Every structure is written in C-alpha cells, then in structure tokens.
Amino acid sequence: MDMGFSTATTPEQIPQDAEWPAFSVPPVRFLITGGAGFVGSHLADELLGRGHRVHALDDLSSGAIENIRHLKDHQGFEYTIDSCSDGRVVAELVDEVDAIFHLAAAVGVRLIVESPLKAIETNVHGTEVVLAHAAKKKRPVFIASTSEVYGKSQAVPFRESGDLVMGPTHLGRWSYACSKAIDEFLALAYHTDRALPVIIGRLFNTVGPRQLGRYGMVVPTFARQAVLNSPITVFGDGRQQRCFCHVQDVVRAIADLMELGDLYGEVFNIGSDEEVTIRQLAECVRELAGSRSEIVTIPYDEAYGGGFEDMHRRVPDTTKIEQAIGWRPTRDLDETLSDVLASTRRAIAGERERRGGLSDRRQMLRTVIVERRVGPGDRRRIVAAPSEVSAALGV
C-alpha cells in the first residue's frame, strides 16, 4: 500500500501537518507484536475479518500458540516466534508491512510484582526498538498502553488529559505503570520530533476468551474457581471498583482508531465505564456459573507481599474516543462474564479429555510391556520395542 512518502524521505522533509492515508481499503499488511497473546490474537481475528493481512510476532513468554492455532491455515496470516526486542527481526518485519500494532508487553500484577526488572526491560526496550524501526520506514504505530498509568489519581473518571500520580519507586508494583508511561512519552516524542504517525490507547480491564489467570488476571481466575466449585479468592477487602470490557469490543476500537488515519499524536481511553466492586464481581461470576464456591478474602500482604498498593477505583472517561470514532462497548458485564465462563468450561473439558487420553495411552503402554515380559514360558525382563511404544502412545 502506498504510504504517501518514500522510504528515502527524511523527517526534516515531512511537514508536521502532513496528512497520512487512512487504512480503509483492504488488504493492508499489519504487524502485531504480542500477536499470540490474549488481546493480540483477538486483534488478528478482527483485522483478518476486515480483509486485511496480519503478521504476528510473539516470543510466547505470555502468549500461546494455542491462541493462533485456528489462524495458521489462513492465507492472510503469518507468524514469527521471536522477541520485539530483537532489532534485526523487527527491522525485517517492519519493512514488509504497512502499519504496526505494538501490543507486546510484560503484563499482570503478579508478574510485575515478582519480576519488576523484566517488566521495565520488556516494556521500555521493546517499545524503543519498534518505534525506532517504524520511524525509519514511516510506518504508523498503535501503542497499547494501560489504565495503570493513572496510578493513584483520584480524579475519577480518568481523562486522557489528567495527571498521572505514581507511587514510590521502592515499590516494584509501580514499575509497570511507569514503564508504560515512558512508552507513551517515547511514542509522542517520535511523533513530534520525527513525524512518526502514532496513536496511543490506554486499555482498561479487558477480559474474554483466551485470557489466563496465571498472571493475576481476576476474571479468568474467578471463572475457573467457580466452574470447579473451588473457593473464589478475592484479594484485599473486595471493595475496590473496576470496569471490565469485552476483548472483542476493545479490538474493534483499536482497529477503528488505526483505520481512520487522522488521529495521530492522540491518546485514547479504551474500556467500559460499567463499574463493579471486586466482591460483587465474584458474586456475579458465582451466580452465572451456578457454582457452590465460597468467596474468601486474602489480604494484599499475603497475596503480593508487604507494602502492596492498589487503586480504589479505576473508571475511564470515554468521551474522547466516542466523539472521535463513535465507539462504545456493545456487551454488558453479564454478557462478558457469560462468554468467559463458557470459554472456561470448554478449556477445563479439554484438559480433562487430554488427561483421560494420556491415561488410556499409558495403560496401553503398560499392557504392551507386561505382555512381552510374562508371555507363555518366559519370565525374563523384556522391554517393548520402540515401535510398539510409539504405537501404544499414538505418536
């Protein structure tokens, strides 16, 4: 697709009010960093559904091949297993696409608390590499930021122009928020100094199928606990309030922002403004699941270690994005949670089926070995041939 400027054009030759083309006519070639992740894989679905082409880059540190398995035979989809911190890989992929969605990041409260250095390095360095190579080719970039950048601000609902209030540096919990704020500063600096077309989206709590609870994500954790009738564990007192948006609504907003093509240099909140306490969330999940789970509270110090800080409320003001592209979430909380629960049930059923299949294959293997050990008139210890083991295991 003609981007409007040749790759030989220098930043000084590009006027600051340059008009960049919109991506309204498919197929456009998009690179998604973090493309095998929760949001990234849904964004790939959305873009392919619009007739575009997608190349996913992911090192699988928090993403999974399973998230994109259904796309592997799609003629418009390609993927590379590598890191967005590898400049050579990024340079090659950027050269082949028309625009970039940079979603790769260290995510999840638990991961951030346990590995703050990894969060900083992954978020800041990865973004720096992507922006540098995008600037060389003048490729438009969407930067996925987070509501965490609002920190401890009490100016609810949060507006894009509001102050960011961070906690002390000796608490690793704030390293994620600060690293994503630096990402925003970097992106806007590239836009101002090098005329790089950039859009920033601050994602609030985003939930849906394919999201895992292992990094501290609350909804998939509650859903799994409820389906298994295990105790639903609420961290803190449960009075903290959040807004949860379905991932399909979120990726629709992300794709619309880039397709419009005239919103560069802007920051947008993306999320639902339907507020719920975490205790109410647990009760809602339990009710929708028809679960017998009890709800138990765990102090933050016990869950994350001493000195953990959290925000009491996190609510977006979405006026700006609504006025810019007419976007509003289309799914309410009950519908979103029902979708997560259905996905969780399917995942648990699949796990049980795989465990059952493995147990059957192990029993077949034992039978092969026993029959060869104690055949008629033969009590010697004889191990089954490799071919028989493979046949028994089905491999």
**Residues recognised as catalytic:** 176
Dihedral sign from CA coordinates of 275, 318, 138, 136 = negative
Spatial contact of 3 and 138, defined as CB atoms under 8 Å apart = yes
Distance CA 99, CA 32 (A): 9
Spatial contact of 365 and 389, defined as CB atoms under 8 Å apart = yes
- Buried (b) or exposed (e) across 377-390, using 16+ Cβ within 10 A? eeeeeeebeeebee
3-state secondary structure 133-188: HHHHHCCCEEEEEEHHHHECCCCCCECCCCCCECCCCCCHHHHHHHHHHHHHHHHH
Distance CA 57, CA 55 (A): 7
DSSP codes joined into one string, 60-111: -SS--GGGTGGGTT-TTEEEEES-TT-HHHHHHHHHH-SEEEE------HHH
